[in-house]
Amino acid sequence: MTSWGSLGLVEAGSPLMEQLIFFHDYAMCIMLMIIFFVGVAGVFMIKSSFTDRYVLEENMVEVIWTIVPVFILICLALPSLRLLYLLDESSSPSLTLKVIGHQWYWSYEYSDFKDLEFDSYMIPTEELDMGGYRLLEVDHRAVLPVGVEVRVLVSAADVLHSWTVPGLGVKADAVPGRLNQLSFVIMRSGVWYGQCSEICGANHSFMPIVVEGVSCDSFMNWVGSLVSV
């Protein structure tokens, strides 16, 4: 979670989110430079005695305002394409998590472990513990190990949903009858919150997502405690 009153994006919990934040800041810098240049040029042209409303053409100006935008677009397109490939790439995942969206809760299945699956419901406001986040806390979190590439397969059982965790830089539509794939690596222990980002019905706002990153030892202990039950 980000701190109160901050203007930036949520704190990055994965390398993908770090790259997304870097590209956001990079694009914002270019945009601010364009706004500054156009503003200064506009003010200069308004006040300058060199402004001539009878000038019909100027080849050099036309060349400049054609080439410069092309160069700017190239500077934005190249890192953007690189980032798109990074978001889609899944080389050698060590853990697979299957996520199924329902009206209105999430189901999680750990495919690498037998009989390890559970449903995750939002905790009602009146049942929240002190310090809990309203409309974001769930009764069963998706626990994942830190430093391990995780593959997430996303689908739905009824209507369209969207599994989105901004802090990890991941978002995938949950489509009935189809599996969408994403992958990420959690950099450190922590808790990341998300919500369904596809309007899926009356209780669309009440199916939050909570991903908890823990050490590999803690993850295996957690798996053992659930499998042995």
- Considering the entire predicted model, what is its pTM? 0.81
* DSSP one-letter code for 165: E
What percent of the residues of the chain are helix, what percent strand, and what percent coil, each to the nearest 5? 35, 30, 35
Q: Looking at domain 15-88, which of 3.40.50.970, 3.40.109.10, 1.10.287.90, 3.40.50.300 is its CATH number?
A: 1.10.287.90
Q: Which of 24-28, 49-53, 104-108, 181-185 has the lowest mean pLDDT?
A: 49-53
* DSSP one-letter code for 138: B
pLDDT digits (tens, 9 = 90+) for 114-173: 888 899 999 998 888 888 888 899 999 999 999 999 999 999 998 999 999 999 989 999
Output the CATH code of domain 95-226. 2.60.40.420
| Alpha-carbon Rg for the chain in angstroms | 24
Fold matches, 15-88 and 95-226: no
Q: Does the pLDDT of residue 38 top 90, yes or no?
A: no
Structural contact between residues 30 and 73, judged by C-beta atoms closer than 8 angstroms:
no
Question: For the chain, which residues make up each domain, given as ranges?
Answer: 15-88, 95-226
CA separation for the pair 145, 137 (Å, rounded): 20
Measured between its terminal Cα atoms, the distance across the chain in Å is 32
State the average pLDDT for the chain: 87
The predicted pLDDT at position 28 comes to 93
Q: Does the pLDDT of residue 7 top 80, yes or no?
A: no
